[in-house]
């Protein structure tokens, strides 16, 4: 299994990303990123998958099951928190953007068919997590307890100010002790240019995933062998996490890092529970007495000035 998928390796039909569970080598998680040309409708058949319609740049109209949602969207993932829509499995979805847009469709194979629903940006909680140079923003638009209108799909966004660390301490959610929740996970990275707003391949960051000495309970996971990867990530890259500890994600000085997390697994109840690497979990205790980075939160439902 190839875990790091650089920009362009998942492109299909002029779109940046088409990643199915079969492409990933697992069962539930997938991701599409679409480019909507101005005024040209795109029809998407969801099939076995539920999905979020999440604007990355620009806005769009979503038409599904006789309902119509207007998504205002945003200039870039670094300018504001966006509104979004949930679309069910077995649906025909039409997306249209008058000015053009880039849209992410985090998706999960599921069994229940729910109704479409709109998620306003103003209702999306923005969490400041960590402290010091481990301070980051977590935008919990599609997480359990915040958005419960999904069968298997979990999703959130993170923004790491340049020079900071996120996904730290390293954590896992796989079929190994003492984890209680199993999730496949996708990291989709966007890296800002020196202006801190415009996504660009100029900048970079780092990502680590490893299994270490964890004891895998499932023969299927064991068959995947151990993982020990430290990679440079750039704008548009994807990293797949079938198991093991993941983190940190480090934003190089001068280049803020965004990533979209997509998670799904076999559990009856949606959960994003995790287990820290015990060697590094002590760092959480230091956050109580360490100031947070004042650059967080980076975004809100109010657009950031871009002048």
Report CA-CA distances (Å) from 273 to 123, 208, 276.
Answer: 22, 19, 10
| pLDDT at 164 > cutoff 60 | yes
Distance CA 86, CA 70 (A): 12
Which helix (H) or strand (E) segment holds residue 85: the answer is: strand 84-87
pTM of the model: 0.95
The reported pLDDT for the residue numbered 178 is: 84
Specify the pLDDT at position 220: 44
Q: Which CATH architecture has domain 4-287?
A: Sandwich (2.60)
Write down the pLDDT at residue 224.
54
Q: Would you place residue 79 in the very low, low, confident or very high pLDDT band (cuts 50, 70, 90)?
A: very high
The stretches of the chain forming alpha helices (DSSP H) are 21-24, 219-222, 283-286
Contacts of 152 by beta carbon, 8 Å cutoff, 6+ apart: 28, 50, 108, 109, 110, 264, 265, 270
CB atoms within 10 A of CB 259: 26
User: What pLDDT digit, counting tens, does each position of 185-194 carry?
Assistant: 999 999 999 9
Query: Is the pLDDT confidence value at 208 over 70?
Result: yes
Q: What is the pLDDT of residues 29-73, one digit of tens each?
A: 999 999 999 999 999 999 999 999 999 999 999 999 999 999 999
Q: Is the pLDDT of residue 306 over 80?
A: no
What does the block give as tokens for 24? 């990933």
- At residue 304, the pLDDT reads 83
d(CA 289, CA 216): 36
Long-range contacts (CB closer than 8 Å, 24 or more residues apart) made by 208-211: 208/170, 208/246, 208/247, 208/248, 209/3, 209/239, 209/241, 209/244, 209/245, 209/246, 210/170, 210/244, 210/245, 211/243, 211/244, 211/245
């Amino acid at each position: 299994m190839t875990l790091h998928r650089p920009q362009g390796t998942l492109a299909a039909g002029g779109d940046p990303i088409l990643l199915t569970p079969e492409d990933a080598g697992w069962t539930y998680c997938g991701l599409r990123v679409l480019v909507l040309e101005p005024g040209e409708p795109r029809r998407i058949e969801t099939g076995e998958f539920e999905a979020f319609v999440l604007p990355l740049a620009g806005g769009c109209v979503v038409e599904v099951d006789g309902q119509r949602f207007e998504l205002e969207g945003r200039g870039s993932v670094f300018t504001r928190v966006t509104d979004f829509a949930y679309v069910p499995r077995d649906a025909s979805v039409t997306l249209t953007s008058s000015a053009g847009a880039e849209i992410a469709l985090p998706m999960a194979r599921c069994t229940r068919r729910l109704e479409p629903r709109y998620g306003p940006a103003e209702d999306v909680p923005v969490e400041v997590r960590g402290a010091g140079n481990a301070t980051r923003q977590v935008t919990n638009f599609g997480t359990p307890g915040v958005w419960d209108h999904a069968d298997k799909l979990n999703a959130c966004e993170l923004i790491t100010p340049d020079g900071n660390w996120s996904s730290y301490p390293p954590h896992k959610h796989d079929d190994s002790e003492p984890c209680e929740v199993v999730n496949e996970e996708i990291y989709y990275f966007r890296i800002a240019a020196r202006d801190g707003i415009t996504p660009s391949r100029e900048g970079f960051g780092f990502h680590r995933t490893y299994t270490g000495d964890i004891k895998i309970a499932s023969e299927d996971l064991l068959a995947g062998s151990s993982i020990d990867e430290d990679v440079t990530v750039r704008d548009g890259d994807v990293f797949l996490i079938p198991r093991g500890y993941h983190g940190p994600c480090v934003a190089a000085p001068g280049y803020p890092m965004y990533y979209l997390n997509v998670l799904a697994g076999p559990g009856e109840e949606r959960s994003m529970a995790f287990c820290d690497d015990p060697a590094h979990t002590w760092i959480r205790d230091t956050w109580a007495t360490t100031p947070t980075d004042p650059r967080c939160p980076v975004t809100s439902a109010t657009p950031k000035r871009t002048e």
